[in-house]
Amino acid sequence: MPTHLIIDGYNVLGKRGQVGSNSEMAREQFLQELVMYRQRKGHAITVVFDGWKQGLGSERHEHRGGLEVIYSKRGEQADQVIGRLAAEFSRSCAVVSSDREVQRFAQAHEAFIISASEFEARLRKRAPSTQLSGYRGKAEEDLLPKRNVEKKGNGRKLPKKLRRRNQQLKGF
C-alpha cells in the first residue's frame, strides 16, 4: 500500500477553480486541509507547486505541519519535480494529478495514480462518483460495464481491475 502522497498542488487547486487572483490564500487553505488529512490518515505528504515562471534560482523546500512543500525552481515545472519524486519512491508512493503526462510517467515507475478530483473527494470526506462499491439501483446500473450475453458470471460485478483499484483507494 503506497504511503507517500505526492500532490500536484496547482492541479488540485485548478480542479477546485481556485487558481487566479486569490491563489495565495487558496494555497494556504489547501495546505491546512492537507495537514488535517495527514493527521487523519497518517500518510507522508509532499505537495509540489510550480515556480518555473517566477520562482527562485533553486528549488525551495518548506516543512509545514508535517507536510513537505516544494516550489520548483525557475525554468523547471512541477511536473518534472513530481516525475523525479515518483521515480525515487516508485511503488511506495501515490501521485495525485490529473495531468496525463505526469500520470503516464508515474505509472511507468509503478506509482499508484489518483486523479485530482478523486483526491479532492477523499480530502473532503465524500464518496467519489467514479467509485462503485456494488449494485445499488437503477442509476448505478447504467454506469456498470455492459456485459456480453454469452459471458457467464455475475453481470453486476465490477471488472477485476476496477475492484483492485477500489481496494487500493480505500487506504486513502
> Where does the pLDDT of residue 149 fall: very low under 50, low under 70, confident under 90, or very high at 90 and above?
low
Residue-wise pLDDT for 22-61, tens only, equals 778 888 999 999 999 998 888 899 999 987 666 667 788 8
- CATH 3.40.50, the chain: domain bounds: 4-129
CATH architecture of 4-129: 3-Layer(aba) Sandwich (3.40)
Strand partners of residue 7: 47, 96
Q: What is the pTM of this model?
A: 0.74
Cell numbers given for 83: 516525475
Give the pLDDT of residue 85: 94
List the single range of 93-97, 105-109, 115-119, 163-167 with lowest mean pLDDT.
163-167
Average of per-residue pLDDT across 99-103: 93
Q: What DSSP character marks residue 154?
A: -
Say if CB 97 and CB 82 are below 8 A apart.
yes
Write the DSSP assignment of 96-121 as a string of letters. Answer: E---HHHHHHHHHTT-EEE-HHHHHH
